[in-house]
């Protein structure tokens, strides 16, 4: 999967230039953060733009196509026969209505051609909150770290460690889900 942000995006925000040796490492962290946002927060493939053919079983004649964003419906077929909007089905936004619940194969294009600015920003936030502990050789811990003591080594968390790892708080997760999530079906990965 592609990362929402690049090491250049992160470098700009941190006023830092990553060396050629650091760039693959930062890219991996950005991919990890993007996977977290895509799979655990949004629950849908929103970037990069992709085409997919999916078999749907209408429920009461209804099929909810992925959101966000649906770019185009390329073909709709049932039993190998291509259907036409207005004849074999009816479309309203991301909903398709059929006369029966027999399975249909829908080929569609979805997702953003460019990563949305807010997802670039959130990806950079997630990676930046992990950089200090990593660079201090404290591992992949993040959020909630309030102090580190050297003699008789000690780490203290302001929130008992609830925010450790690559995570966002519940408020920010809800905000991102409202902006990019879907109440209908979602494409998470394609083959």
Q: Band of the pLDDT at 138, cuts 50, 70, 90?
A: low
Residues 13-55: tens digit of each pLDDT? 999 999 999 999 999 999 999 999 998 899 888 899 989 899 9
Where do the domains of the chain lie? Answer: 7-46+114-180, 50-110
Number of Cβ within a 10 Å radius of residue 103: 14
Given this model, what pLDDT does residue 13 score?
95
CA distances from 59 to 32, 92, 98, 103, 129 (A): 35, 16, 9, 10, 44
Sorted by sequence, the CB contacts under 8 Å of residue 90 that are 6+ apart come out as: 96, 97
Who has greater pLDDT, 175 or 61? Answer: 61
pLDDT exceeds 90 at position 74: yes
Average pLDDT value for the chain:
84
Residues 95-114: tens digit of each pLDDT? 999 999 999 999 999 999 99
């Amino acid at each position: 999967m592609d990362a929402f942000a690049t090491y250049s995006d992160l470098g700009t925000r941190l006023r830092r230039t990553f060396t050629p040796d650091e760039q693959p490492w930062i890219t991996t962290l950005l991919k990890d953060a993007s996977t977290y946002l895509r799979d655990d927060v949004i629950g849908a493939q929103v970037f990069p733009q992709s085409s997919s053919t999916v078999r749907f079983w209408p429920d009461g004649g209804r099929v909810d196509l992925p959101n966000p964003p649906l770019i185009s419906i390329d073909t709709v077929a049932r039993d190998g026969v291509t259907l036409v909007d207005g004849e074999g089905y009816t479309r309203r936004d991301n909903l398709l209505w059929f006369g029966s619940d027999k399975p249909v194969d829908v080929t569609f294009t979805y997702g953003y051609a460019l990563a949305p600015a807010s997802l670039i920003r959130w990806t950079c936030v997630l990676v930046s909150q992990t950089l200090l502990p990593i660079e201090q050789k404290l591992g992949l811990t993040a959020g909630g770290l309030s102090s580190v003591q050297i003699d008789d080594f000690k780490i203290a968390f302001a929130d008992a460690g609830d925010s450790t790892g690559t995570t966002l708080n519940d408020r920010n997760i809800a905000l991102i889900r409202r902006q990019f999530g879907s109440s209908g079906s979602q494409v998470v990965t394609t083959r």
